[in-house]
Structure 1
Amino acid sequence: MPTLQDIANIAQCSKATVSLALSNHPRIAESTKARIRKVAIELGYLPAEPDNDVASKPAASRRSIGVLYIGEDAQKSIGQGFFRETLLSIIQEASRSNCNVVMIEVNASNGQITEDELCEKIYNSGVEGAVVICFRKELHGFNTLIDQQFPLVFVGDHTIADRDVKLHTVMTNNHDGGREATEYLLGLGHSRIALVTSPTSTERINGYFSAMRTAGHNVSDKHMMIVSPPYEKNDGRLRMLGEQEFTAIFATSSLAGLMVLQHLRFLGKQIPDDISMIVFDDSESFQIESPPITVMKQDLESLGTYAVKMLLDVVGEVLPLPGRVAISGRLIERASCRSLHAPLKVNR
């Protein structure tokens, strides 16, 4: 069940404002009330009303679809870029398709949940199908739902634990994105490119190695540093950034990118004069770094939009067999990568 905080995050206001708006308090502007009520209806917090412009048809004719979030803290995640932007596009596409959206949260600190818990939450929600968002690759607890052919669409490349089954999936084309990010650095004249990654970014890693080998460069696991939080100054996993003469870094996630930035500051290295850097996935902090960081940005709006379209096709039995949509990322060039073809500018 969505909360006031969920509505506040989407409507970009305080929880107190949401509470006052939904109670029709005179202190809140009518335009703000309308915006908040629209979000509340789209999230399924309030029922659709015939006289509300959100409900162009009677409430009984509107389908309900779920957004199943599996993780440690949905309240925290909903304010972060990936979840926030994807959820917003899901809500917008659902509204265009005359559907209500119901938030379904499953707390799973270790990634494992029981079949009974998951089925109970899904069926008690009353939804006809659900878009699944989880930041772990391997998922538990879905066997019963899959056996019962409950309509599910997964955002991201996931597998079901102890089972080889094809899933309806909408995901970023991670291999091509990893290759394009690496080719961008190669095009600037870099060949000594370090790869900083989490162990789960398999396709982005493969894209890096594909680009390097196609360009004729011998690379091995020695070029790759596998990291996970928390970051520490004497982190041995990033030791090679100070020991080897890399001219550029490709970080395969925003978290890996943030760890690299911290370590480069510790080493006293300047971007891009001492080393260039590109990150797969964007973050608000990358935009305000000095210099701003070049990124391969996921198309989160399309992820959410296509997830809803696919789910409605599955619900309507238009797409009975598992489908897979891979969405290209977009390279956003900022100021963190230096061309080795041009002389280094020296500040005087």
Structure 2
Amino acid sequence: MASLRDIARRAGTSVSTVSLVLNGRPSSVRISEATRQAVLAAARELGYTPHLAARRLRAKTPARRLIVLAIAHPVDSRLSLISRIIRGMQHHLGTVQTALAQAGLETQLTVETYQPGHLHRLRGLREPLWYHGLLVTNTTPEDDAFLHTLETPLPFVVFQRVTPHNAVNADNRAAARRVAQHLLALGHQQLAVMAPETASEAHQLRVAGFLETVAASGRRAEAIIAPGTPWTDAAYHTARALFARPASQRPTALFATNDLLALGILRAARESGVRVPDDLAVVGFDDAEFAQYTVPALTTVHLPIEEMAARATAILLDLIQQRATPPVQVEFPTRLVVRESCGGARQSDRPATTDALSLGRPEAHITLF
């Protein structure tokens, strides 16, 4: 097994420089691009594997090759999502374990964190040294722009984004249209959609699909931005301000672009004396594990995260073993899970208003469409 000293000798540099390059973390020491490339080339030529667990495994089972799959996940992202992604990836790896073993392969799953908007600093992203395949999740618009121009030999799959690269996605716009159609069919005249202030591409598509469908029906739709984090807290405070309006100026149906927002809305409604679903229908998105246990149980769009993660894992393994030609792009269907928070058809509804309204809270920004 090649050591850092071997790589330093091959690259014509110091061991400390090799360590900084292979670590892939930001450093106050400036290393030229030529030196970095020389170190990476030497590491590849010598077959260097920096992962300690991989070294131990290879020592025990020298006849097998270890494939390390990594999940790139923002440090401030919700744990419920990453846990479902891990569960889906582990499920697929479990189903193919026998076939992989017969091919002399073993797998290991790891999580690499990054600061939102700084995916470009993720170690190993440009060179397959730390892991052999990468699933990228919860990117910001800045990260998406970086990914659009990224060129790397590392096989990677993007989760829930429209991208020219390998991707697993869901039709967020179409799913939001189904939500709007359901609420319109129940007779609602005043509808609204709530999204976080730092809305990802998926959230933006959900807002767009909802507003388009309501507008096409000739009824009124309102887009509400919930500023701040965490999302449940942001939705709670924004909804409390919303429910302080006169009853005739409030929506009767509110679509939250994820279930964490819907959770805050339900709490705010209860504390404000707004009855769900009698006074307000609430719909979420994701079908998080807690959705069926809220009071009332939350109507939401089921996003098959585990299945999407499993398919992403299969794509990564195929790319690593050169059994697929990129880009591989898969779109998953969604379904509306109707529970208690929408209620039945409305017998009558309040007349719509076209006046521009304010919540009375400067940080709770509302835009009318």
Q: TM-score, normalised by structure 2?
A: 0.65
1:284 counterpart SS class:
coil
Following superposition, the deviation at residue 195 of structure 1 comes to 0.8
Deviations 1:91-148 (A, max 9, x none): 121233325132032242x432554x522897443x32222223534328977x9423
1:292 aligns with 2:297: yes
Q: Return 186-195 or 320-329, whichever deviates more.
A: 320-329
- 1:292 shift after superposition: 0.9
Alignment match, 1:69? 72
| Corresponding residue number in structure 1 for 2:154 | 150
* Match in the other structure for 1:34: none
Secondary structure of residue in 1 paired with 2:124: helix
Q: Which range is displaced more, 128-137 or 175-184?
A: 128-137
2:188–2:253 CA contact under 8 A, matched in 1: yes
Partner of 2:215: 213
* Larger Rg over CA atoms: 2
Evaluate the alpha carbon distance shift between residue 241 and residue 60 of structure 1 in structure 2; reply closer, same or farther with a 3 A threshold: farther
Aligned residues of 2:168 and 2:330 also touching (Cα < 8 A) = yes
> Where does residue 108 of structure 2 map in the other structure?
101
Does residue 306 of structure 1 match 2:311?
yes
| 1:260 corresponds to | 265
Q: CA deviation at 1:276?
A: 0.9
Cα pair distance change 1:135/1:256, threshold 3 Å: farther
Map 1:136-215; keep pairs closer than 5 Å: 136-139=140-143, 146-157=150-161, 166-198=164-196, 199-200=199-200, 201-215=203-217
Deviation of 1:72 after TM superposition, in Å, equals: 1.4
Residues 134-143 or 210-219, more deviating: 134-143
Residue 315 of structure 1: aligned partner: 320
Q: Deviations 1:29-57 (Å, cap 9, x if unpaired)?
A: xxxxxxxxxxxxxx98984999xxxxxxx
Superposed CA RMSD in Å reads: 3.5
1:338, CA displacement in angstroms?
Answer: 1.9
Summarize deviations over 1:53-111 as a string: whole Å, max 9, x none. Answer: xxxxx77445514122332168x72xx2x221221111121233325132032242x43
Query: 8 Å contact 1:44–1:100 — kept in the other structure?
Result: no
Alignment of 1:125-136 (within 5 A): 125=130, 127-136=131-140
Whole-angstrom distance in 1 between the partners of 2:328 and 2:183: 33
- Structure 2 CA distance for aligned equivalents of residues 157 and 196 of structure 1: 20
State the alpha-carbon separation in 1 of the partners of residues 84 and 151 from structure 2: 31
Q: Is residue 193–residue 249 contact of structure 1 (8 Å, CA) maintained in 2?
A: yes
Q: Supply the distance in 1 between the matched residues of 2:250 and 2:145 (Cα, whole angstroms).
A: 46
1:323/1:113 CA distance change after superposition, 3 Å: closer
Contact 1:106 1:118 in 2 (8 A): no
Query: Quick one: distance in 1 between partners of 2:161 and 2:259?
Result: 18
Letter in 2 for 1:304: A
**Helix, strand or coil: the match of 1:195?**
strand
After superposition, the Cα gap between the structure-2 partners of 1:59 and 1:266, relative to the gap in structure 1 and judged at 3 Å, is farther
Q: How many angstroms apart in 2 are the aligned matches of 1:269 and 1:182?
A: 21
SS in structure 1 of the partner of residue 135 of structure 2: strand
2:155/2:319 contact within 8 Å kept = yes
Amino acid paired to 2:333: S
Asked if structure 1 preserves the Cα contact closer than 8 Å seen for 2:118 and 2:143, the reply is yes
- CA deviation map 1:296-324 (0-9, x unaligned): 11111211121012222322334333232
Determine the C-alpha separation between the residues in 1 that align with 2:145 and 2:297: 41
Distance between the aligned counterparts of 2:312 and 2:87, measured in 1?
12
Cα drift, residue 177 of structure 1: 1.1
| Contact 2:127/2:153 (<8 A) preserved | no
CA distance in 1, matches of 2:234, 2:191: 23
How many residues are aligned here?
Answer: 279
The separation in 2 between residues aligned to 1:94 and 1:156, in whole angstroms, is: 21
TM-score by length of 1: 0.68
- In the other structure, the counterpart of 2:9 is none
**Alpha-carbon distance between aligned partners in 1 of 2:87 and 2:215, rounded to the nearest angstrom:** 39
Please report how far the alpha carbon of residue 175 of structure 1 lies from its aligned counterpart in structure 2 after TM superposition: 0.9
Instruction: Name 1:111's counterpart in structure 2.
Output: 117
Contact 2:84 2:306 in 1 (8 A): yes
Tell me which amino acid in the other structure corresponds to 1:85. Answer: R
The answer to whether the 8 Å contact 2:135/2:156 transfers is yes
Determine the structure 2 residue equivalent to 1:335: 340
* Deviation string, structure 1 residues 271-295 (Cα, Å, up to 9, x no partner): 1111111101123333222211111
Q: Tell me the distance in 1 between the aligned counterparts of 2:235 and 2:310.
A: 41
SS in structure 1 of the partner of residue 165 of structure 2? coil
Residue identity (%): 21
